[in-house]
Amino acid sequence: MTEDPRSRRLKSIQLAIWAGSAAILMAVAGALVWRATTPDPAPQVAFVGEADIRSEFTLTDHTGRAVTDADYAGDWQLVFFGFTNCPDICPTTLAYMASVLDELGPRAEDVAPLFITVDPARDTVPVMAEYVAAFHPRLVGLTGTEAQVAEAAENFRTWYERVEDETAPDGYMMAHQGYMYLMRPDGGFEAVFQEQEQPPEELAETILGHIEDEKGAT
Amino acid sequence: MKLPILALLATALPLAAHADVTVSDPWVRASILASRPAAAYLTLVSDGDDRLLEASTPVAAEVTVHATEVDEAGLSRMNHVPTVELPAAEAVTFAPGAMHLMLTGLSEKLVEGTSFPLTLRFETAGEVTVDVPVLGVGASGPEGGQR
- pLDDT cut 90: percent of chain A above it: 70
Q: What gap in Å lies between CA B20 and CA B50, rounded to an integer? A: 9
Q: How far apart are CA B60 and CA B112, in angstroms?
A: 16
B33 within a domain of the structure (yes/no): yes
Q: Which residue of B has its CA nearest to A196?
A: B97
Give, rounded to a whole angstrom, the gap between the first and last alpha carbons of chain A: 70
Evaluate whether residue B2 is within a structural domain.
no
Residue B146 falls within a domain, yes or no?
A: no
pLDDT for the residue B73: 78
Mean pLDDT of chain B: 87
Residue B5 lies in a domain: no
What pLDDT shows up at residue A9? 54
pLDDT band at B113 (very low <50, low <70, confident <90, very high): very high
The pLDDT confidence band at residue A33, using thresholds 50, 70 and 90, is low
Residue B16 has pLDDT above 50, yes or no: no
d(CA A151, CA A142): 13
pLDDT for A88 equals 93
Query: Could you tell me if residue B70 is inside a domain?
Result: yes
Residue B13 belongs to a domain: no
- Which ipTM value was assigned to this complex? 0.80
Could you list the residue range(s) of the whole structural domain that residue B54 is in?
Answer: 18-135
Residue B145 belongs to some domain of the structure: no
Question: In chain B, what is the straight-line distance between the N-terminal and C-terminal CA atoms, in Å?
Answer: 62
The amino acid that residue A88 corresponds to is D
Cβ pair A101, A138 in contact under 8 A: yes
For B64, nearest residue in chain A (alpha carbons) = A167
Q: Which residues of A touch B66 (CB under 8 A)?
A: 87-88, 167
User: Are residues A87 and B102, on separate chains, in Cβ contact within 8 Å?
Assistant: yes
Which residue in A88, A99, A166, A180 has the most chain B C-beta atoms within 10 A of its own C-beta, making it the best mutation to test that interface? A88
List Cβ neighbours of A41 (8 Å cut-off, separation of 6 or more): A35
Residue ranges per structural domain of chain A: 1-41, 50-217
- Split into its structural domains, chain B has a count of 1
Assigned domain for B119 exists: yes
Contact check, Cβ <8 Å, B75/A160 = yes
Q: What is the CATH number of the domain that holds B68?
A: 2.60.40.1890
Residues of B in contact with A92 (CB under 8 A): 96-97, 140
Query: Which residues on chain B are in Cβ contact (under 8 Å) with A163?
Result: 77-78
User: What's the pLDDT at A29?
Assistant: 62
Q: Residue B93 — pLDDT band, cuts 50, 70, 90?
A: very high
Supply the pLDDT for residue A216: 78
Of B26 and B10, the one with more pLDDT: B26
Q: Looking at the predicted structure, is the pLDDT value of residue B144 above 80?
A: no
CATH class of A50-217: alpha beta
